[in-house]
Structure 1
Amino acid sequence: MSNSTLDKLKARFNPDAAEGMDEVFQFHFEDAGDHYLVIKNRTLNVQEGEHDDPSVSLSMGTDTLKGIMTGDINGMTAFMTGKLKATGNVMLATKLTSLFPN
């Protein structure tokens, strides 16, 4: 994943939406390296690699993530059509748009 995408995530992070959260979002990108986001009580920490025990794991291409984040792609549609695969606490994935609003 390009640094610009990560920088955009950091810039758009909404700490109010992360109040009381303690979750790890693992991203497996088909066309880039693995990254994970640690969201803990209003803070965001982006790490490269794989986490031992993520709350939810999401597999997709970077274009799919960009589309979901910009609102061009509906996350549920991406999931239903196989562009996005999720394991773990799948409902957490629905919080991504409130954690990273446009």
Structure 2
Amino acid sequence: MTVQETMAALADKINANPAGLEGLRAVFHFQLKDSGLFQITFSENAVSVVEGGPDEAACILEMSDSNFIKLVRGELNPTMAFMMGKLKVKGDLGLSLKLQSILQKYQ
């Protein structure tokens, strides 16, 4: 599965059952080594994904494409990835923890 397919599948899962998103309004940027920049926006109990970063992000996550796919599938522990340097977080660390719980719910 490509990064684009993984992003689309994740957005579809979340939008089909947005129960875990109440009140979340946040913009995340994923800077991926090979695929570039993706923006994930949580707003109005929905999520949208776009390539590029048209909006300012409160939290920026940098990682390889393969580690991103593993993270979304639940095959990579985000805390361990951060401690091992496989994941870099810039901005609001609290939002990164919220994103971690969202990803766990929708795996």
| Range of TM-score over shorter length | 0.7 to 0.9
**What do residues 8-59 of structure 1 show as CA deviations (whole Å, max 9, x unaligned)?**
1112215111111110011100111211011013111111112442110000
Structure number with higher helix proportion = 2
Decide which of 36, 39, 43 is 1:33's aligned counterpart. 36
Q: For 2:35, what is the secondary structure of its paired residue?
A: coil
Q: For 1:34, what is the secondary structure of its paired residue?
A: strand
Q: For 1:36, what is the secondary structure of its paired residue?
A: strand
- Structure 1 segments unaligned to the other structure (5+ residues): none
User: Structure 1: which 4+ aligned runs deviate by more than 6 Å?
Assistant: none
- Aligned-pair identity in percent equals 30
- Structure 2 segments unaligned to the other structure (5+ residues): none
| Superposed CA RMSD | 1.6
Q: Would the aligned equivalents of 1:75 and 1:94 in 2 still touch at CA under 8 Å?
A: no
Partner of 1:3: 4
**CA distance in structure 2 between the partners assigned to 1:93 and 1:27 by the alignment:** 11
Map 1:36-55 → 2, pairs under 5 A: 36-55=39-58
TM-score normalized by the length of structure 1: 0.88
**CA distance in structure 1 between the partners assigned to 2:97 and 2:66 by the alignment:** 18
**CA distance in structure 2 between the partners assigned to 1:53 and 1:3 by the alignment:** 21
Residue-pair matches, total: 102
Ranked by relative contact order (alpha carbons within 8 Å, sequence separation 6 or more), the top structure is 1
Give the residue type in structure 1 aligned to 2:5: S
